[in-house]
Amino acid sequence: MITITLRYFASLREQVGRSKETFTFSHTLSVVDVWQHANSMPLPENTLIAVNMEYVDKLYCVCDGDEVAFFPPVTGG
Amino acid sequence: MITITLRYFASLREQVGRSKETFTFSHTLSVVDVWQHANSMPLPENTLIAVNMEYVDKLYCVCDGDEVAFFPPVTGG
Amino acid sequence: MTIRIVETVFDPFLEIQHFQTQLALNGKCGATSIFIGTMRDFNDGDDVRAMTLEHYDGMTQKQLAKIIATAKEKWAILDELIIHRIGDILPNEPIVVISVWAMHRAEAFEACRYIMEELKSHAPFWKREILTSNESRWVLKNTSGKN
Amino acid sequence: MTIRIVETVFDPFLEIQHFQTQLALNGKCGATSIFIGTMRDFNDGDDVRAMTLEHYDGMTQKQLAKIIATAKEKWAILDELIIHRIGDILPNEPIVVISVWAMHRAEAFEACRYIMEELKSHAPFWKREILTSNESRWVLKNTSGKN
């Protein structure tokens, strides 16, 4: 069993209506699969994804304990 | 008759041993000719020349009242 | 290297000056390049009254540290300071300060600009603007830093 | 646009801060790019104890104004400040400060660097170094600002 934390930020947080949640899966899966299990809407095309605060692509496979974050393009500075 | 002021700066001022002098000529001449009339040493190759505080090349012809300055490469900043 | 995420208005000049007095540069630093990003009162043709800056605490610091580490691999720089605001911001207030100390000017200029461009494209900050009409909206993407 | 040639040590941060409070930028300025050149205690492999900066009074101001005018033709910038030391200077003291205010960062970065490179190659300043051996020498030429 693998348990992961999901986080959403900024406009994506508002769209999904949640900022943080925990999921448990019986087998490892990619971050895009994680999104599909957790959300009815499709993953918006320009979404950025980070696992444990490092950028990953959407086929990256999660491990037990990972923090997976989804967010729109960054606009700091 | 044209009367001009000559100025020398930095290492060139030390080499010629003067900082400012006035010359009067009967006819117009180029700044390199002015140098040759005023100095026994040849014009050092990398010398910069300004007339009335604007850069000129060595064939620029002086007019009455001009301030002609000779100086080495600049090293500010 | 110092990275600070701050929630209240700050004076960029006092911050840099204070940081610099703590550096042991001792005659080695010939060049300092500084960038200050300030909140404007307009964007995309609309008048902006205020802004709220959200960030991903932890990832922000991690990404900024990585950007500085990469800059240090690329250029011979002596020290670096990044300060970035979060929370509620008003026009004319500083949003970000980047300061880079180096022996020579090319390194200072290039590292400072590199850090700023990387921050704009990789550090997890998001701006929400409040227009003078009281409508609010997320800024969708940063403008390019190229001319 | 302000150009100042100063004979005594100055605090670059206080000077910029003071100048900025007098600017009517009013929410229009999004980017400030600053360069500070500081005296090092070494050059060309030797230890330097002090420096004397000579300039061509009048031509200096004229050339710097021309450089800024050209920068304003090339980039959309809001205001510019140049301060340059002359006279006797000690290690760690600032020699030059350039600050450029703009709406956007690309313009601020590029204009600031342009002004600095043009100053280095065209403004009539000359440095004479005094080494720790008490020998003194003219600096023959500026190093390149390219990497």
Per residue in D45-66, pLDDT tens?
Answer: 999 999 999 999 999 999 999 9
Higher-pLDDT residue of C143, D65: D65
Q: Are D105 and C42 an interchain contact pair (Cβ–Cβ within 8 Å)?
A: no
A10, A11, A74 member nearest C123 (Cβ): A74
Rounded CA separation B21/B16 (Å): 11
Tell me the β-bridge partners of C54: C126
Q: pLDDT digits over D92-120, tens only? A: 999 999 999 999 999 999 999 999 999 99
**Is B55 in contact with D122 (CB distance < 8 Å)?**
yes
Q: Does C78 contact chain D (CB < 8 Å)?
A: no
Q: Which residues of B touch D55 (CB under 8 A)?
A: 76
**D32 membership: H or E segment, kind and range:** strand D31-38
- CB-hemisphere CA count at 13 Å for C111? 32
Q: Which two tokens stand for residue C37?
A: 């990003």
pLDDT at C147 exceeding the cut of 70: no
Structure confidence at residue C117 (pLDDT)? 98
Least confident range of B36-40, C137-141, C142-146: C142-146
D78 CB within 8 Å of a chain C CB: no
**pLDDT class of C25 with cuts at 50, 70, 90:** confident
| Residue found by looking up tokens 């026994």 in the block | B40
**Closest residue of C to A69, CA-based?**
C56
Burial class of residue B35, CB neighbours in 10 A (0-12, 13-18, 19+):
buried
Q: Which amino acid is at B42?
A: P
Q: Is C136 left (phi over 0), alpha (psi -120 to 50) or beta?
A: beta
Distance from CA of B36 to the nearest CA of D (A): 22
C-alpha to C-alpha distance for D69 and D77, rounded to whole angstroms: 11
Q: Which of C39, C35, C59 is nearest to C113 (CA)?
A: C35
Q: How far apart are CA C63 and CA B29, in angstroms?
A: 65
Whole-angstrom distance, CA of residue A77 vs CA of residue C115: 11
- Closest Cα in chain C, distance from residue A77 (Å): 6
Q: CB B77 to CB D53 under 8 A?
A: no
> Between helices C105-122 and D105-122, what is the axis angle to 10°?
180
- Token pair 């002596």 is found at C78
Pairing assessment for the beta strands A54-56 and A67-71 based on DSSP bridges: unpaired
pLDDT of residue D147: 67
pLDDT of D142 higher than 90: no
Instruction: With CB atoms and an 8 Å threshold, state whether B76 touches D140.
Output: no
The CA distance from C15 to C26, in Å, is: 19
* Per-chain mean pLDDT for chain D: 95
Residue A49, strand partner residues: A56, A70
Strands (E), C18-135: 31-38, 42-43, 46-55, 77-85, 87-89, 94-102, 125-131
Angle at D123 between CA B69 and CA B61, to 5 degrees: 30
ipTM over 0.90: yes
Question: How many CB atoms sit inside 10 A of residue A64's CB?
Answer: 11
* B44 three-state secondary structure: coil
B57 near B49, Cβ under 8 Å? yes
**Could you say which DSSP state residue B75 is in?**
-
* pLDDT mean over B50-66: 97
pLDDT block averages, 10 residues each, chain A of length 77: 97 98 95 96 97 98 97 97
pLDDT at D129: 97
Contacts of B76 in chain D (CB under 8 A): 53, 55, 84, 95-96, 119-120, 123-127, 142
User: Between chains, do D145 and C108 touch, taking CB under 8 Å as contact?
Assistant: no
- Residue from the list C17, C28, C30 with its beta carbon closest to the beta carbon of D37: C30
Do residue C84 and residue A76 have CB atoms under 8 angstroms apart? yes
What type of residue is D62?
Answer: K
pLDDT on residue D114: 98
Chain A, nearest residue to C84 by Cα: A77
* DSSP 8-class letter at C67: H
pLDDT digits (tens, 9 = 90+) for C33-89: 999 999 999 998 999 999 999 999 999 999 999 999 999 999 999 999 999 999 999
Contact D26, D109 (CB under 8 A): no
What band does B1 get if pLDDT is binned at 50, 70 and 90?
very high
Taking CB atoms and an 8 Å limit, are B72 and D123 in contact across chains? no
Give the model's pLDDT for residue A64.
Answer: 97
Q: Which residue in the block uniquely carries the two structure tokens 């404007």?
A: C40
C62 at A interface, C-beta within 8 A: yes
Three-state SS for D137? Answer: strand
**pLDDT reported for residue D26:** 79
Amino acid at A63: C
pLDDT band at C24 (very low <50, low <70, confident <90, very high): confident
Rounded CA separation B18/B8 (Å): 7
- With CB atoms and an 8 Å threshold, state whether D106 touches C37: no
SS3 of chain A: CEEEEEEECHHHHHHHCCCEEEEEECCCCEHHHHHHHHCCCCCCCCCEEEECCEEECCCCECCCCCEEEEECCCCCC
Chain D adjacent subunits, 3+ CB pairs under 8 A: B, C
Q: pLDDT of B11-43, one tens digit each?
A: 999 999 999 999 999 999 999 999 999 999 999
**pLDDT of C126 over the 70 cut:** yes
